[in-house]
Amino acid sequence: MKKITLSILMLLIISSTMLFASGSNEKNEADTENKEESTMAIYHEIEAPSVKQMLDDKEEFYFIDVRTPEEYEFSHIPGAVNIPLDVISSKAAESFDSKDSMIVVYCRSGARSRVAAKELVSLGYTKVYDLGGIISWPYEVTK
């Protein structure tokens, strides 16, 4: 009887130790992920009416079309400057006054602007906004 009791006690100790170790490891992994997310800078999405109001109010911000020069020449949102996605990282320092400058990016559908926004954030820019695509812009465009 003592052997059975001792065996059960040992089994309980081993099981609880394994459960504690497993839970602790999961918690540490979750803590690490949360710390990484909280220290990562992020960009924000912005809606067309907000950008239109900013343009109408002549607010100071950089409005960047990240499409190709050919796409930009074909049509673009008035007030936007063309800095193609493939050169935005190398042109950022000479294009923007400071890392705290407000920057709004857009492309055709939103895919390239999302990449551009992430690149700018990775370079240390703190006020980056993604408008998405010109195809969703309900206002006038320059042709």
Residues designated as active site: 107
Task: Extract the tokens encoding 36.
Answer: 């990484």
Task: Extract the tokens encoding 109.
Answer: 């559908």
> Alpha carbon 95 to chain centroid distance?
20
The helix/strand/coil state of 16 is: helix
Q: Are 66 and 105 contacting, i.e. CB atoms less than 8 angstroms apart?
A: yes
Q: Are 82 and 69 contacting, i.e. CB atoms less than 8 angstroms apart?
A: yes
Q: How far apart are CA 90 and CA 84, in angstroms?
A: 11
